[in-house]
Amino acid sequence: MASLMWYLYDFARRAWIEGFTDAKSKEDIVEKPSRFRDFPEVKKELCIACGACTAACPSPNAIKLIRDTDDQDKQGITFPVINKSACIRCGFCAEVCPTDPKTLLCGENHLILPEFNIVPTKKEFVVDDFLCIKCKKCIKECPVDAISVVDGNVFVDKHKCIYCGKCLDVCPVNGAMKCLYIDNLEGQKQIISLVVKTLEEYVESQGEQLRALPSDGIAVFEYPLNNLLNMALKIIPDEKIAQDIIFNAVNRLKIRIIDWDSDLCKKCQLCVNECPTGAISFDDEEDTIVRDSNKCLRCSICYQTCPFGVIKYFISKFSINNDENEEYIIQISSRLLE
């Protein structure tokens, strides 16, 4: 009886009556706050098919790119579709989407700030200010306005860049726009060391031709890039990555070459005493001066010390071009330093 009286009393309370009379409709109850993460809404006409959303999605099969069929009037566009049975409504796809306005919307994305708008990638594009000729072709080609002129130099904004590579394709100067890989750094170091050592040994093998150069002469050599590529693939077995690393290493590469004709050497050994790293020594058995290339700094002290002008000092520059068969070759130009 007491419980019944309590129920009647609670039913008659003013607060209960007001709550009943002020009840919200179904539509009002389900209204979501702006911060609510719903299933992403796709504005397919804005999509540039960069794939950033699919790379960022942590849920397998939640998002994929598809393409409309072509017709006589226009080419089919590519855009993402959401699988609601797999989507976890995390909003990562919208956060990394580089288009403005966004192709993907899923409520208020408080993390959409430049410092958080990071497209998952293993590479980045940078401009070599020394080689860049400021033609601005990359700026015009960039689909997301990630490239601009800052303080007189062309600059790639890594927060906007979608790593499509179009800037690299239109750049007219080898090495001005570089594609750098930010993983497997140890393998990259090994390939760069391989490039430098191999090309140095090749130039040194042309010592006779170098020594015959007049003071204002230039010796030109060619070295097949495929020779280096085959060796690099044993370190990083991805041909595109290995080739890009070689390109970046070769363009702008300069190597100083120390060389001398042993038959002309007077064996005074002044160079032996002056070498700061002990790279030059006298071989008693062979009765000649020898140089350890692994210790040599190419500092030219031996060249400056030699009183008979026997030691020669050269600078070699490298660039990549195509031969008559459209095969990549490394062009080498060497000249005598005075």
Q: Each residue of 211-236: pLDDT tens digit?
A: 888 888 899 999 999 999 999 999 99
* 317 bridge partner residues: 254, 333
- Report pLDDT digits (tens) over 101-146: 888 888 665 444 444 444 456 788 999 888 899 999 999 999 889 9
More confident residue, 9 or 142: 142
> What pTM was computed for the model?
0.58
Find, among 49, 58, 114, the residue nearest to 90 by Cα. 58
Cβ count near 80 (within 10 Å): 23
Q: What is the pLDDT of residues 149-164, one digit of tens each?
A: 999 999 999 888 888 8
**Rounded mean pLDDT of 81-91?**
88
- Dump strand ranges (E) for the chain: 41-42, 63-67, 78-82, 104-105, 123-127, 147-150, 153-156, 177-181, 218-224, 254-260, 280-283, 288-291, 311-322, 328-336
Q: What is the pLDDT of residues 54-74, one digit of tens each?
A: 888 888 889 998 888 877 777
Q: What are phi and psi of 95, to 5 degrees?
A: -65, -35
The band of 174, judged by pLDDT with boundaries at 50, 70 and 90, is: confident
What pLDDT sits at residue 119?
A: 47
The percent of residues in the chain predicted with pLDDT above 70, rounded, is 85
Q: pLDDT tens across 256-313, in order? A: 999 988 889 998 999 998 898 899 999 988 889 999 988 888 888 998 989 998 999 9
3-state secondary structure of 307: coil
Question: Could you tell me what percent of the chain has a pLDDT over 90?
Answer: 33
Identify the DSSP state of 205.
T
- Give the per-residue pLDDT at 24: 56
Q: Which stretches within the chain are classed as H helix?
A: 2-12, 14-21, 26-29, 52-56, 92-96, 137-141, 166-170, 185-204, 207-211, 225-232, 239-250, 270-274, 301-305
175 backbone φψ class: left, alpha, beta (φ>0; ψ -120 to 50): left
- Residue burial 7-21, b: 16+ Cβ < 10 Å; e: rest: eeeeeeeeeeeeeee
Residue 161, amino acid = C
Q: Is the pLDDT of residue 95 over 90?
A: no
Residue 276: both structure tokens together: 């700061």
